[in-house]
Amino acid sequence: MLAEERRMRIVELLQENKSVEIAELSQLFSVAQETIRRDLRRLEEEGVLKRTHGGATLSEERQTIAPLSARSQVNREEKERIGRKAVEYVADGDRIIIDGGTTTLQLARALKSSRKSAAVVTNALNIAIELAGIGEVTVDVVGGTLSESSLTLIGPETERALGRYRVNKVFLAASGVTVKWGLGISNSFEAAVKQAMMAAAGQVILLADSSKLGKEGLVSFAPLTKVDKLITDENADPKIIDAIAQLGVDIELV
């Protein structure tokens, strides 16, 4: 088992039991206890858990994370405008990846009503359901481990699956965007999936409402120079917009 897969399984066990013991994990994965300690240190740095004597507990932040339905209501109007603008960049017959997220969900809804034809690849179950049954749109859902907080599939299997695709565009989400640190997200598992999405795409289009700009994510997964286009709302700080534009990113304000 790869280290990444082992850490994913540790996260699953924490979500199920709220705590884990080093000795038990060492036996379960047939690795040394020091290997498990390194895994726990890594996961603690990512904000997933809090280490304790002989084990770890799920971090309070992870236990109280806002449900997807609540997060989708934040800046809802702005996200809807971004989604409607983003669908203008989907050409008939395009092959696209739609990343999981509350803003990218609005793109899926706009695509649903646009009647454009497209082949969609996604790791988000809610986006797949949104696009189900539309004759003009085909949907591929990549496999992986379910993240209950975001309804996305993540992990090494997701990364391997994405590596087999080649698409025209990826519509990407991020939890934070800064000039210095680039695109950020809450953990390394999601970061690795987003990197695989970007590698599969000819063009990277970032969908981020203004609340994400100037905010650092815990894990940086790409510099802004890797982004071709940013679609955000008109409430964005002009200084941040100017700084991003100077990096060569095309920006749409809606």
pLDDT at residue number 64: 47
218 and 145 share one domain? yes
Q: Report the number of distinct structural domains present in the chain.
A: 2
237 and 189 share one domain? yes
- Nearest residue to 7 (alpha-carbon basis) of 207, 154, 133: 154
Q: What is the CATH number of the domain that holds 37?
A: 1.10.10.10
- Nearest residue to 147 (alpha-carbon basis) of 218, 65, 76, 215: 65
Which of these three, 23, 44, 63, is where a domain ends? 63
Domain extent for 41? 3-63
Q: How many CB atoms lie within 10 A of CB 86?
A: 26
pLDDT at residue number 14: 83
107 and 19 share one domain? no
45 and 77 share one domain? no
In whole angstroms, give the CA distance from residue 55 to residue 124.
Answer: 32
In whole angstroms, give the CA distance from residue 3 to residue 39.
Answer: 8
Q: How far is CA 121 from CA 108, 140, 171, 206, in A?
A: 11, 5, 10, 16
195 and 73 share one domain? yes
One digit per residue, the tens of pLDDT, for the chain of length 254 reads: 678 778 878 887 887 778 899 999 999 899 999 999 999 998 888 777 889 999 999 876 555 444 555 555 667 899 999 999 999 999 999 999 999 999 999 999 999 999 899 999 999 999 999 999 999 999 999 999 988 778 899 999 999 999 999 999 999 999 999 999 999 998 888 999 999 999 999 999 999 999 899 998 878 999 999 999 999 999 999 999 999 999 999 999 99
Which of these three, 63, 93, 110, is where a domain ends? 63
78 and 43 share one domain? no
| Residue pLDDT, tens place only, 237-253 | 999 999 999 999 999 99
75 and 52 share one domain? no
Q: How many CB atoms lie within 10 A of CB 149?
A: 14
Q: Is 135 exposed, middle or buried (0-12, 13-18, 19+ CB in 10 A)?
A: exposed
Structure-token match 């904000």, residue found: 47
DSSP-derived letter for residue 213 is B
Helix and strand totals (H; E) in the chain: 11, 15
Structure-token match 């992990």, residue found: 155
Which of these three, 47, 63, 79, is where a domain ends? 63
**One-letter amino acid identity for 63?**
Q
Q: What is the CATH number of the domain that holds 167?
A: 3.40.50.1360
76 and 57 share one domain? no
46 and 103 share one domain? no
Given CA atoms 151, 157, 163, 165 in this order, what sign does their dihedral have? negative
49 and 166 share one domain? no
7 and 88 share one domain? no
189 and 127 share one domain? yes
In whole angstroms, give the CA distance from residue 72 to residue 200.
Answer: 27
